[in-house]
Structure 1
Amino acid sequence: MGQTQGTSWLCPAEADRARLLDMERRIKPVRAAAMGILGAALIASGPWVGWWPVLVLLVSLAAFAVVDRGIEKAPRPEYRMAAGWALSQLLIAGSIVLSDGLHSPALCWLAIPVVTLSSRFSNRGVAAGLVLTIGLLLAVTIGLDHQAVMDDPSNLIFALGAIGAVGMLTTPLMVSDQAHRSDARIDALTGLLNRHALELRIAELEMQADGGDVTIGVIVADLDHFKAVNDAHGHATGDDVLRGTADRLRTHGRAFELIYRIGGEEFLVLLPGASLQDTIEHAEALRCAVGSRPIGDVPVTISCGVSASEVGAFDFQRVFGRADAALYEAKQAGRDQVRVRTLDDAATALARTAA
């Protein structure tokens, strides 16, 4: 699996990357339906505008298939999405060139991908997308036949108006949606996802794992002696320690949307596709990262409990229960360590209890 590489120009915060990936999951099936509608329109109008635009649409579908492959595991998925988005605009521009430029009925289609800009990217990404779209519009109109534009610029003006209006209207709608969703799903102190977001993700993973051939690793991590930190240094310092711990988990985590704050000083990491050994190694890496240096003047360590689901099924409560029991063992054994509970361990413990 890939490892996130911090923030980027398109995703100034890790929360932006989580939103981008979440929206991509939602847009993907709708995009397929929209492509079908565009394909039907191109086929229906083929006798009048020609068949080359249909070929361009097929190339676009193939390109999106390549972009989508493994995007959630990519270190910087936002760049792959931006490349796919830009390619879609280039292909629409190609369709316009092949169907009479300024007078092409596809001219207004450049506004369609603009609808998705604000759902994926921050304001800087929206601005960059609008600049690219307007540049392409000018290239396929003025660039191809500036005299035709001078004679009758109405098609260009209408297309510019549609692109600008779509960009302006969708941005505040997405800002409002983002604010409400962040309130519901983001922990205000650490910026990590919260229990509500976890419930939604668990439901997705349980459906994805059903009958499949992958396992899902679970890590439960807890800050060691956190009460003593609050007692000795005050709650403000305790908050700084929680934020610093969350930052280190994000920096060394595989993907932001898989790390959750589930309690005062307790964190959960989900690792889809990870074996038990993968999960153990990842937990050890997180433990070392958090304890590598003090946060402020406070030495910090974490204890981790690890477990993993069996192949083809993900019962979160059972896997979490095993990982939580392993965390308890780590605490009892002296803290600052990783302990593991497997399905066999749980069966053995149950048998001993029954006996």
Structure 2
Amino acid sequence: MLALALVASGPWLGWWTLLPLALAGAMFRLADTRIAHVTTPEYALFAAWLGSQLMIVGSVVLTGGAQAPMLPWLAIPLMTLGARFSERGIAAGLGLSLLLLVGVALVTDSRAVFDNPPLLFGPLALMTCIAIFQTVLMRSDVKHRAAAVIDPLTGMLNRQALTQRAAELEQQSQLTAQAVGLIVGDIDHFKQINDAHGHAVGDAVLKDVAFELRKHLHAYDLCYRIGGEEFLVLLPGSDLEQTRRLAECLRASIAGQQHGGLCVTMSFGAAASGHETPFSYSQSFFEADARMYAAKRTGRDRVCWQSPTGETATA
């Protein structure tokens, strides 16, 4: 839309005005190519965003300064901040934009600003209102996005988040041949807990169990609540033996202390893809889920996995 406006204004402003717009587009393109290779991609994006503001400032300076018709265009990049940054990023972008606005107006034509202050007040109010509105939109987006993938009771990721992550791991596994472990765990006799102590106690047990499970996972290991009292853990880079050891660690930790004021145990099933076989979520889940039920049948409070002979092993 900016390009169309500049083309339409070409006979009056000149065609050179398309150059700053092209430079701003090149900056965003460069930032996009660097995102995958830097540890702080938000800085690359913010630098490209600031570059777009500077391009608009350059255009304003060359087309009339404080009285330039393009001066309010400094508000346009502010509308993109909420899609990329937090409140801190929006505040930083607004602050820099207001400084640029005041600076370019005073440097290019301070007399016009002092003679007619609304030349400055109007764009200042416009930009501030846009930033406030973007903050509201960003908060709403974060809230509803979190509600879509977070289980409200335990704070764990839910099935929708699991579907997305499983698909990503399947694609990565095909490219890297990386092993992926999967653990399915279920709280033993949970229905009896609800029946004997009430659902409030059952909810407290679920919260405490979820917290205990998370304590033993790495940052890149993800735990999901996939049913009433059933949890699933994805372990990128873990073979079957590593997956089995973690499942046993989780089992011992749950059994070793009270949760929700009660002594509870969990049964676990473990599965993992090999380095030669790409990760298949459906296959790994089928195996781990079957082994979890095998752990239930053989006494509960235990871990079942596949032994080197191909048979289900229990410990």
Matched, 1:267 2:235: no
Normalising by structure 2, report the TM-score.
Answer: 0.68
**1:261 CA drift (Å):** 1.2
Equivalent runs, 1:36-55 vs 2, <5 Å: 48=16
CA contact (8 A) 2:78 2:130 kept: no
Which amino acid in the other structure matches residue 228 of structure 2?
A: G
SS of the residue aligned with 1:241? helix
SS of the residue aligned with 1:136? helix
Matched, 1:224 2:194: no
Cα root mean square deviation, aligned: 4.5
Distance 2:227 2:261 in 1: 24
SS of the residue aligned with 1:193? coil
Match of 1:248 in 2: 212
SS of the residue aligned with 2:106? helix
Distance 1:46 1:285 in 2: 70
Equivalent runs, 1:173-322 vs 2, <5 Å: 184-210=148-174, 212-254=176-218, 258-287=222-251, 290-291=254-255, 293-310=257-274, 311=276, 313-322=278-287
Equivalent runs, 1:104-143 vs 2, <5 Å: 108=73, 111-112=76-77, 114-117=79-82, 119=83, 125-126=86-87, 128-143=88-103
**1:251 CA drift (Å):** 4.4
Which amino acid in the other structure matches residue 291 of structure 2?
A: A
Distance 2:185 2:292 in 1: 7
**1:166 CA drift (Å):** 3.9
Selected match of 1:92 from 48, 52, 55? 52
**1:275 CA drift (Å):** 3.5
CA contact (8 A) 2:220 2:236 kept: no
**CA distance 1:317–1:81, change in 2 (3 Å):** same
Q: Can you give the 5+ residue segments of structure 1 that lack an aligned partner in the other structure?
A: 1-36, 72-79, 350-355
Cα deviation 1:24-70 (Å, max 9, x = unaligned): xxxxxxxxxxxxx99xx9xx999736978867765655555555448
Residue-pair matches, total: 296
Cα deviation 1:243-284 (Å, max 9, x = unaligned): 122233344444599322112211012234444344345434
Match of 1:327 in 2: 292
CA contact (8 A) 1:108 1:162 kept: no
Which moves more between the two structures, 277-286 or 266-275? 277-286
Q: Can you give the 5+ residue segments of structure 2 that lack an aligned partner in the other structure?
A: none
SS of the residue aligned with 1:187? coil
Which amino acid in the other structure matches residue 192 of structure 1?
A: M
Distance 2:26 2:251 in 1: 48
**CA distance 1:229–1:193, change in 2 (3 Å):** same
Distance 2:253 2:52 in 1: 46
**CA distance 1:150–1:258, change in 2 (3 Å):** farther
Distance 1:304 1:238 in 2: 19
Cα deviation 1:191-215 (Å, max 9, x = unaligned): 3233344334444444454455233
Distance 1:343 1:47 in 2: 72
Distance 2:90 2:174 in 1: 41
SS of the residue aligned with 2:235? strand
SS of the residue aligned with 1:267? strand
**1:342 CA drift (Å):** 7.2
Which amino acid in the other structure matches residue 92 of structure 1?
A: S
Choose between structure 1 and 2 for higher RCO, CA contacts under 8 A separated by at least 6 residues: 1
Cα deviation 1:275-323 (Å, max 9, x = unaligned): 4344345434544554564234223443322212245633322111111
SS of the residue aligned with 1:306? strand
**1:181 CA drift (Å):** 5.3
CA contact (8 A) 1:221 1:266 kept: yes
CA contact (8 A) 2:194 2:202 kept: yes
**CA distance 1:83–1:250, change in 2 (3 Å):** farther
Equivalent runs, 1:51-62 vs 2, <5 Å: 61-62=29-30
Distance 2:50 2:130 in 1: 18
Distance 2:90 2:155 in 1: 29
SS of the residue aligned with 2:155? coil
